[in-house]
Homo-oligomer: A and B are copies of this chain.
Amino acid sequence: MVEKTPTVYDVAEMAGVSIATVSRYFRNPDAVRESTRERVGQVVRDLGYVPSGSARGLAARRTGTVGVCFPSFDDVDRIDARRLGAGPPVRVRVDTDAHQDTGSDLYIAEVVRGTEIEAWRHGFAVMIAVPRGAAAHNVVEGLAGRVDGLVTLARAIDPDQLAHISRRIPVVMVAGPRDGDVYDHVTANNHGGMVALTDHLITEHRLTRLEFVGGPEDSPDAQVRFEGFTEAMLLAGLGVPERPIARSDFTRVGGRETGRLLLAERRLEGIDGLVCANDQSALGILDELTAAGVRVPQDLAVTGFDGIEASNVSTPRLSTVRQPMVELGRLAVAQLLRRLAEPMTEPSTRVLGVEVLLRDSCGAHATSTP
């Protein structure tokens, strides 16, 4: 990095060819005679030449990059407070707390992984961004200017800004319902999954007094799941709560707060099941119930939604609805590239199937797998 970064011109000159040939060397090597190809290749190595993505993007009018935008549930301030690299080289301590939260959102991590895989398959790079803080708009605008298309999780981008940038690049929304908007959507069958799960609690486990723990007010997914819950209750002829018994913020820490609140106010008495809007909330609540001596599922059934790995190894293991997270990401990118190729087709909505996973937190099951 001491040297001035070489350009096509430098390579061309040293190899005794034109810049067009250097360009061909990278984009279409077969169109270059072998002897020239070797000569160019040698110079490229000697000079440490790497083509400029900016110049390429400008000239070709496409960046070969897809953007992925997602909301942040992590507490950056708290992480920020942790001084970088502080602490002794090795610290040894007995760790008795099974309930720490790393703060990472597995659901998002899996979706992002899916986008990366599909992008990779098509030779695209992935640029990620989290619009948080005061500069959220700049983050999104910067991203939109640098990519050929954008995948965004619901609620990550301000709707007005989304409308603005979608005039420049196609946008695919992951999760969240279409409310008359014009974007492509990829989502999972939240409604059906929640109906089936709730129905299972009612039909198989004979639970009648169920309550719902909601998510953030503005989460369409949480809303749809609540509707699925009430629908199943209605169909079974049971009394339907008008609203969630509590709301959590989709984090495990938030779930624990909710759990403490419900316990402290004795609002769980007479309830035989707690249907939660997502896994992390359910796990947080589970933490507190266990700590308080409430037996799950004997005293109270608890269920989640998403199917993150943590739900599979909790004690008790959490019954939940698994969303195909990696596939959501993959399909979003696939749809994005499709639209890049065919801009004028109608906006599409793709609803992926879900899987109700019956484990231990909702009650006992026969051990035979159908």
By a beta-carbon cutoff of 8 Å, the part of chain A in contact with chain B is 1-3, 5, 45, 48-58, 63-65, 74, 76, 79-80, 82, 84-96, 98, 100-102, 104, 106, 109-110, 113, 116-117, 120-121, 123, 125-130, 132-133, 135, 138-139, 141-147, 164-170, 189, 192-193, 195-196, 200, 308-310, 312-315, 317, 326-327, 330-331, 334, 343-344, 350-359, 365-370
Contact = CB atoms under 8 A, between A and B. Distances in A.
A245 B326 CA distance: 35
A79 B138 contact: no
Given A84-B327, A139-B120, A90 B353 contact: yes
A113 B74 contact: yes
Given A85-B327, A85-B350, A367 B96 contact: yes
Nearest to A160: B45
A82 B91 CA distance: 44
Contact of A132 (B5, B120, B146): B120
A138 to B, nearest CB: 7
Pick the most buried of A80, A128, A343: most chain B CB atoms within 10 A of its CB: A128
Nearest to A118: B84
A15 B56 CA distance: 29
Nearest to A48: B167
Contacts of A327: 82, 84-85
Contacts of A52: 57-58, 145
Nearest to A87: B353
Contacts of A127: 65, 125-128
A308 B167 CA distance: 41
Contacts of A57: 52-54, 57, 146
A104 B113 contact: yes
6 contacts: A90-B353, A94-B365, A123-B138, A126-B128, A309-B310, A313-B313
Contacts of A120: 76, 129-130, 132-133, 139
A227 B129 CA distance: 39
A85 B352 contact: yes
A125 to B, nearest CB: 6
